[in-house]
Chains A and B, each alone.
Chain A
Amino acid sequence: MKFTKPAWVMHKDSSMRGESKRLSIFSVHVHPDGSRIATGGLDAKVRIWSTKPMLNEASERSGRPPKSLCTLTMHTGPVLVVRWAHSGRWLASGSDDEIVMIWDLDPTAKGRVWGSDEVNVEGWKPLKRLPGHESDVTDIAWSPEDRYLATAGLDSQVLIWCGYTLERLHKIDQHQGFVKGVCWDPVGEFLATGSDDRSVRIWRTTDWSLEAEVRKPFEHSPGTFFRRLSWSPDGAHITASNATNNEGYVFIAAVISRSTWTSEISLVGHENTVEVAAYNPHIFLRDSSQPVVAANICSVVALGADDRAVSIWQTKSARPLIVAKEVFERQIMDLSWSQDGLTLYAVSSDGTLAVFNFDTDELEGIAPQSAQEQYLKKFGFVPPPLPTGFSHQVPQSSRMTPPPSPSRAQTQTEFGATVNGTDGEQVNKLVAKRKNKKRIQPTLMPSSVPSAAVPSASTAPSSFAGPVAYAGASGGVGAARAFGEVPSASASLPPPPSARPPSSHAHAISPLTSAPFGTTTSSFGDEDVEMFPLDKDTEVRISSLDTSMQGGAKGKRRAEMNDGLVSAKPRTLGGDRVREAVPVKEIVTGSGGGVGGGLGLFSGEPSLISRLPVPSVLTYLKATIEGTEDVFEGRNPEEDGAVEVLFASGGKQTQWLDYLPSPILALAATPMFCAVAMQDGSVNVYSHTGRRLMPTLSIGSACSSLNASRHFLMLLSCTGLLYVWNVKKQCAAFPPVSVSAILGSSPNCTIISTTVRPNGAPVIQLSNGVAHSYDTTLATWIKLTEVWWAEGSDAWQGRQRTTQFASRGVLSALESSINEHTPPADDAEKVRPTWWNAALTLGHLEARLHAAKVLDSPPEYKQTLLLYAKKIADEGFRAKAEELIRELFGPVYWRPGRDEGWSPATLGMSKRDLLKDVLAVFARSKTLAKLALDWQDMLKRAANGE
């Protein structure tokens, strides 16, 4: 597979001259011939791009064909959806401005766009404006063979238009919430829509009545930008976005079966809401040698989500073919497969486009398009007859010399003009009437109207003389400028392959067939397909997706090598054992009642202990070691047998094992050590060769959670005591401390998550929207962040419009998590005091600065510091600015090497270097420019040792 992010595909903020800022791209769609794509953006523009320069480096360099083909500027609101007709002749776009537009190729409309630097090398003209929606148009779909056009909007309506005459045929208004997704059955029998009323509804195309309503997978689905859904090419399934499992805590795409209209299958693994599902247009065969029958058919579907990942699934396999994480900085808004099924385009609200290009052999079992046509015939559905005299079909012979569009034909006959389709278009000459300002004699007006109204029939070639003068000078500038741009987006693309070429082409992502996705930990008989393990299955997921992507192929190879070397290796404890899979079963239910999974979110008793549930005793537990495929496993016997832990390298070969006196409750593993917590309240800590690094720790009560990071091990006991040990130094990071202080007395306040940072700082997130850590120097619990800031801070994660914080540090992840678990109250209605926003924003940023220090997160510290400086500058708070400068500058006469009790660095970053950046921010502000200049001078002198 080839992966590329062409940096030149962008919707620009034209209000900012010089600097071009990327604006969100909401929609992408590939033309049926595959040679062009359309995108719709926040800038209210529809843009058309050629695909060859994206797929072919030589084409990208040569500029042939031109990258940008056309820019359509008629919408007055953000363009939320673009969809090509199956015929390829028309393009439909839907916008915030409530209008659906149909665009038609206009061979005469090429050239410079008036009032901009754009050059349209391919002309598209508005064919028809389809008014009717009373709010934003969110999704559009052309039915098979362009028989109908369905449009959906925030007015809760679905409108059906004739695909031939473009007249409105029907209005569906039974949805009770915004409609954010629409798709057609490839057979032509049904239409499916997805709405914020938490239902997907299926409509019959024969009479537009309701066939079915699917609610179950959407009962807890959160609000999202889109709910784009897709119907499989064999007609058998609909994959709907924005569904959830487990009371809304697991984000899935729901696969709904035709005719039963139930969802038995979920695609699990995205860490946030799925926005869009898109089926590959081809039928795939499980066994290519077998005929195209239902049992042998599977399909390929792509998902895009708010967790910024794109996953591609083949329905015959339990794991995704590919997961591309960190490819975007913000959520995915739309996906589109090319007609040949080999290329997938994805766009994001971060304003970038990504292209995944497959070889045929990578998409196993892909069947030709004819197979689908043949197969769909078995449904025996006969579509209603076409309106008479209309057709999308073009006789082969007249392909290249199409008759003029009807609108043109009409004007032609009316005015008797002859129009040559290629040399120019007809321009009606109108006569301007002087406006009668006083309107004293309104009767005079009509007399002048007739003459004014008759447009002259002659074409006016002279009217095009004007622009010629400057077309030469600035023509092509737009495209040329886009060329040399460094693909900024690709810089942030993990995994950074070594020696990435400067071009945006890269062969980065290898299919992930190995850990940690593949492990299906859910109990058998459950049809959930797991992309990566979930906490409820007690598998501790340490390795993040992106590192596994990097190590995927490599790690596998290494594992194979190990296999070959086994015989030559020295013996290990249990190394000859064959690892066998154990089904995960619950033996003893945890004390929290097990309602809300491992952490007892819904236990209702007021005492502290009931809020710190003990995990269930399961037959099998596992922890994967970050960056490797090594796993640390625990097994509790169901009847007679020994409790054992074992360490397997590469996920296969047992390296060592140990037997334990008491059932295992929890495991944790880092690249430094492994730890196991037992029911009797004892904890063993092992090295990677199975040596006990510390004496068995006796906590005295069972653990509620066990976490580890680098050298630190953290345990929260069910009695509410928090322990953190430094395994390397073999000492406690601080004396055990009770969480009762932060949990409070409310029975509804529970712990949502516990983690420990690589520096030993604990992070405890509570259900009341506050995240705490324990500061050893202050010997106090401290608040890292809390939902309070969401009520007024501009910098709150999720409110942030820029992509600055999308780089996912620990704090932004915490804030996102708080948003999910404790959604901030909608404060749109509340009246706030004047200084509310400034105070909360500054307070929030200051809190975040402290938190970044405690959690040892230098990038976030720096980001926040600059944001803080910007806010101070914007508000013009000179005293704060000066204090901040002095704090970072330190003693005036301090020089490197001199020790005056002042530390010149914070989190490993030089304070004076940070100050330089802060001053650069201040220098741009009116009130602080002078101050900044003075201190910049001071910094320079200090650096020169004056």
Chain B
Amino acid sequence: MSIVTIRNVEFLNNPARFLDPYHFRVTFECIAPLPEDLEWRLIYVSSPGNEELDQELDDCLVGPVPVGVNSFEFEGSPPSPDKIPPEDVLGVAALILTGSYKDQEFVRVGYYQNTEYDNEEMNEAQPEPIRFDRLVRDINQKPRVTRFQIKWDVSPQRPGQVVAAGAVTSAAVPSANDIDMAEATDVNGASS
């Protein structure tokens, strides 16, 4: 059971130039108070076969995290060009966002990033050496999510901290027979 569930990850500048910082917002739900910070890492994977070449673009802490829906924004520096093998610069690379608590990774979100020149000519000709200033990146919005079970070690609930007061305060549950698909598709996107 994960205490933290990602509701959404938005890239605030996408597409962008290759050397622009990554700027994005993570919205997540927390269902129990967490005394320690959550740690988030952004990793650029240029060569899937060689972990040595992975670049950690950013590493940030968020906390203490209250129960409820939370969001935070953060910026990650672009990958440093000299650490990418020239043959792996163009085309598809992976961008990985990981969430950890107490040094245990509980979620890993992967995105594909496509890198190309901002003009057709260079895409055709492929200049040597690579002109990093003319490269643009586009991140595919479809995340690949892997969740891991970790020890959250949540302190036992404190008395007096009442979450529920009986179902009287809960929303009424109308019959499912009346639900219409049209209503559903009108809803704006993820987890509003």
Number of chain B residues whose Cβ lies closer than 8 Å to a Cβ of chain A: 73
A779 part of interface (Cβ distance < 8 Å): no
Q: Is the CB of A467 within 8 A of B59?
A: no
Q: Is the CB of B192 within 8 A of A111?
A: yes
Q: Taking CB as reference atom, which chain B residue is nearest A448?
A: B61
Q: Is the CB of A165 within 8 A of B70?
A: no
**How far apart are the CA atoms of A111 and B149 in the complex, in Å?**
26
Q: Is the CB of A98 within 8 A of B1?
A: yes
Q: Is the CB of B163 within 8 A of A75?
A: no
B187 part of interface (Cβ distance < 8 Å): yes
From B32, B59, B169, B177, A435 is in contact (CB under 8 Å) with B59
Q: Taking CB as reference atom, which chain B residue is nearest A164?
A: B166
From B143, B154, B169, A403 is in contact (CB under 8 Å) with B169
Q: Which of A241-249, A419-427, A648-656 faces chain B? A: A419-427
**How far apart are the CA atoms of A408 and B68 in the complex, in Å?**
8
Q: Is the CB of A428 within 8 A of B173?
A: no
- A-B contacts besides A129-B1, A165-B166, A394-B168, 5 pairs, CB < 8 Å: A99-B1, A106-B171, A114-B145, A468-B189, A470-B189
Which residues of B have CB within 8 Å of A121?
179, 181, 183-184
Query: If A64-B180, A73-B5, A87-B167 touch, does A437 touch B59 (CB 8 Å cutoff)?
Result: yes
B90 part of interface (Cβ distance < 8 Å): no
B27 part of interface (Cβ distance < 8 Å): yes
From B147, B164, B170, A165 is in contact (CB under 8 Å) with B164
Q: Is the CB of A430 within 8 A of B70?
A: yes
Which residues of B have CB within 8 Å of A405?
164, 169-171
Q: Is the CB of B190 within 8 A of A111?
A: yes
Query: If A64-B180, A121-B179, A464-B190 touch, does A105 touch B171 (CB 8 Å cutoff)?
Result: yes
**How far apart are the CA atoms of A396 and B185 in the complex, in Å?**
31
From A112, A163, A165, B190 is in contact (CB under 8 Å) with A112
Contact with B along A7-50 (1 / 0, CB 8 A): 00000000000000000000000010101100000000000001
Q: Is the CB of B149 within 8 A of A77?
A: yes
B60 part of interface (Cβ distance < 8 Å): yes
Which residues of B have CB within 8 Å of A167?
157
Q: Taking CB as reference atom, which chain A residue is nearest B9?
A: A114
Q: Is the CB of A466 within 8 A of B189?
A: yes
Which residues of B have CB within 8 Å of A403?
169
Q: Which of A88-96, A231-239, A735-743, A891-899 faces chain B? A: A88-96
Q: Taking CB as reference atom, which chain B residue is nearest A468?
A: B189
Which residues of A have CB within 8 Å of B125?
none
How far, in Å, is A710 (CB) from chain B's closest CB? 52
| Smallest CB-CB A-B distances: 4 pairs | A467-B189, A466-B10, A99-B1, A121-B184
**How far apart are the CA atoms of A74 and B6 in the complex, in Å?**
10
Q: Is the CB of A50 within 8 A of B27?
A: no
Q: Is the CB of B32 within 8 A of A129?
A: yes
Q: Taking CB as reference atom, which chain B residue is nearest A86?
A: B167
**How far apart are the CA atoms of A433 and B37 in the complex, in Å?**
10
Contact with B along A458-486 (1 / 0, CB 8 A): 00100111111111100110010000000
A interface residues with partner B (beta carbon < 8 Å): 31, 33, 35-36, 50-52, 63-66, 69, 73-77, 85, 87-90, 95, 97-99, 101-102, 104-116, 119, 121-122, 125-129, 131, 146, 163-167, 389-394, 399-400, 402-409, 411, 421, 424-435, 437, 449, 452-453, 455, 460, 463-472, 475-476, 479
Q: Which of B45-53, B71-79, B80-88, B128-136 faces chain A? A: B71-79
Q: Is the CB of A402 within 8 A of B181?
A: no
Could you pull out 15 A-B pairs where Cβ atoms are within 8 angstroms? Answer: A65-B176, A110-B192, A122-B176, A126-B31, A131-B154, A392-B167, A393-B168, A394-B168, A406-B162, A406-B165, A407-B68, A432-B62, A435-B60, A471-B187, A471-B190
From A89, A116, A163, B171 is in contact (CB under 8 Å) with A89
Which residues of A have CB within 8 Å of B70?
427-430, 455
Q: Taking CB as reference atom, which chain A residue is nearest B6?
A: A114
How far, in Å, is A155 (CB) from chain B's closest CB? 15
From B7, B149, B163, B173, A88 is in contact (CB under 8 Å) with B173
Which residues of B have CB within 8 Å of A75?
1
Q: Taking CB as reference atom, which chain A residue is nearest B65?
A: A430
Query: If A31-B173, A98-B1, A463-B71 touch, does A122 touch B179 (CB 8 Å cutoff)?
Result: yes
**How far apart are the CA atoms of A85 and B181 in the complex, in Å?**
26
Q: Is the CB of B170 within 8 A of A402?
A: yes
Q: Is the CB of A129 within 8 A of B3?
A: yes
**How far apart are the CA atoms of A390 and B145 in the complex, in Å?**
39
Q: Is the CB of A129 within 8 A of B31?
A: yes
Q: Is the CB of A390 within 8 A of B179?
A: no
Query: If A97-B1, A393-B168, A433-B62 touch, does A35 touch B177 (CB 8 Å cutoff)?
Result: yes
**How far apart are the CA atoms of A463 and B25 in the complex, in Å?**
8
Q: Which of B11, B148, B164 neighbours the largest number of chain A CB atoms within 10 Å of its CB?
A: B164
B2 part of interface (Cβ distance < 8 Å): yes
Q: Is the CB of B71 within 8 A of A108?
A: no
Q: Taking CB as reference atom, which chain A residue is nearest B152?
A: A131
Q: Is the CB of A407 within 8 A of B60?
A: no
B119 part of interface (Cβ distance < 8 Å): no
B121 part of interface (Cβ distance < 8 Å): no
Q: Is the CB of A52 within 8 A of B169?
A: no
How far, in Å, is A40 (CB) from chain B's closest CB? 13
Which residues of B have CB within 8 Å of A76?
1-2, 147-149
How far, in Å, is A475 (CB) from chain B's closest CB? 5
**How far apart are the CA atoms of A435 and B154 in the complex, in Å?**
23
Q: Is the CB of A432 within 8 A of B172?
A: no
